[in-house]
Homo-oligomer: A and B are copies of this chain.
């Protein structure tokens, strides 16, 4: 591949800025860029310093300086009597990318030099860099939480009818330019007051939450709310109730980031968390993380009897309740219970998010906390990330104050109700009841498709990914030894045609997987398993 590079191969030279000083350094940077992006390849001869200087209209010394710098760095190689070439061992960035597929890469490749890379690898092996103890567990979490490709049935891809309207953009253009939404210094860790006021008004009205704006903490979404609650509410060796099954975002936080507190998984049945069992297993737990409006992932509401029992236990035991009211805007069946928080504002931390009803990439949500805990949540938040970014808080506050959110919710609710019904019908057509069946819960933006006993739902999710379908396995949401196989399917953000086509591919994957599990002799006996 070695050839003499033409100046046209180095388009980055076009970005030289003569007013910015040190042209040598700029030329050196342009050449590095050209290697990185592939315009220059390992072994290529460079133009002579005389030619390049003339073409750039700079002094020859300027170009020589750049070449000398890069020779010192190992990017270039001077050959006696034969000009300068790109070091033959150099790998362009796109080649390095291609090498990333390898399961075990020998070593970092920070300088982009293959030889240096190998030397470095050898040095690291001899040094034996030992990873820190927590690294392996966090790396597993990264793999588990990797975002799904934005194809059906990834949860929460705002598109088409469910994307926020142009009004969002217009408010942004207006409010982000200047005033309180414009560039600013460090602001309130609890969030911008207009947004906290809008959120307080919204949850008072829509969820019977009892709060003042001073109790509202703007978060980056439910995940941050869960993290903050675990930090503030739990000390070392405290026990905590968590539903079984539960959102992995809760159980992973309590597994990894706690101070040694013990998570007690409490079963859920058709009425929600089984409070009697909780009291039997861990009567002195300091907190309970629950999803009373619709259990995650199953979707049924917590019954009034269980709500009463849970609150009575919390009062008697001086315990805290963390109420994750995810997808609170989206209900399709029956009359919604008001929030638990409204019954016991001094013991409940209430969590909500705009990720689902607006869009996830906004990263805005809220925690509403007992007044006695506001300062503690504020301190925990400061140490995590100081405060939420400012601008979009003001955009969202205006969006809410002007009534756009409520209109948006009404629209989205209707769209999703139809999507959900259609998806349930399609799955019913495609999959017989002894292979897979839909959980009858009311989950907002996803549904659970149970799979016949013995099916490996993680393997199904992987096969589905290969077939271009995004689903998550349900079994990791259960405590070890209690899992049932199933899939979480989001139904937002895609056309009916896309969802139908994906459902067909998914059904084929499931039928094959369940067939395999039958060969292994573990097919579910017969009849209903719900």
A397 CB-CB contact with B under 8 Å = no
Taking a contact as CB atoms under 8 Å apart, the answer to whether A138 and B224 are in contact is no
A41 CB-CB contact with B under 8 Å = no
A493 vs B371: C-alpha distance when bound (angstroms)? 35
A185 vs B373: C-alpha distance when bound (angstroms)? 32
A189 vs B142: C-alpha distance when bound (angstroms)? 9
Taking a contact as CB atoms under 8 Å apart, the answer to whether A211 and B403 are in contact is no
Residues of B with C-beta under 8 A to A373: 131-132, 135
Taking a contact as CB atoms under 8 Å apart, the answer to whether B210 and A111 are in contact is yes
Taking a contact as CB atoms under 8 Å apart, the answer to whether B108 and A383 are in contact is no
Residues of B with C-beta under 8 A to A221: 385-386
* In the complex, residue of chain B having the shortest beta-carbon distance to the beta carbon of A128: B318
Stretch at the interface among A252-260, A422-430, A501-509, A514-522: A252-260
Taking a contact as CB atoms under 8 Å apart, the answer to whether B143 and A232 are in contact is no
Taking a contact as CB atoms under 8 Å apart, the answer to whether B184 and A158 are in contact is yes
Nearest-Cβ distance from residue A504 to partner chain B, whole angstroms: 23
A168 CB-CB contact with B under 8 Å = yes
A138, A345, A392 pick with most chain B CB within 10 angstroms: A138
A286 CB-CB contact with B under 8 Å = yes
| Segment 221-273 of A: residues with Cβ below 8 Å from B | 221, 223-224, 227, 231-236, 238, 249, 252-253, 256-257, 259-260
| Segment 488-507 of A: residues with Cβ below 8 Å from B | 493
A163 CB-CB contact with B under 8 Å = yes
Nearest-Cβ distance from residue A187 to partner chain B, whole angstroms: 6
- Contact code string A101-119 (vs B, CB < 8 Å = 1, else 0): 0000101111110000000
Taking a contact as CB atoms under 8 Å apart, the answer to whether B363 and A227 are in contact is no
Query: Which residues of chain A have a CB within 8 Å of any CB of chain B?
Result: 15, 17, 20, 25, 29, 32-33, 93, 96, 100, 105, 107-112, 120, 124, 127-143, 145, 147-148, 150, 154, 156-158, 163-164, 168-169, 172-173, 176-177, 183-189, 201, 204-205, 210-215, 219-221, 223-224, 227, 231-236, 238, 249, 252-253, 256-257, 259-260, 286-287, 315, 318, 320, 345-347, 355, 358-364, 370-373, 375-380, 382-392, 403, 406-407, 410, 493
A selection of 17 A-B contacts at a CB cut-off of 8 Å is A110-B215, A110-B345, A131-B373, A135-B372, A138-B376, A139-B375, A142-B375, A145-B189, A158-B184, A183-B359, A183-B361, A187-B361, A223-B385, A227-B383, A257-B383, A363-B388, A363-B390
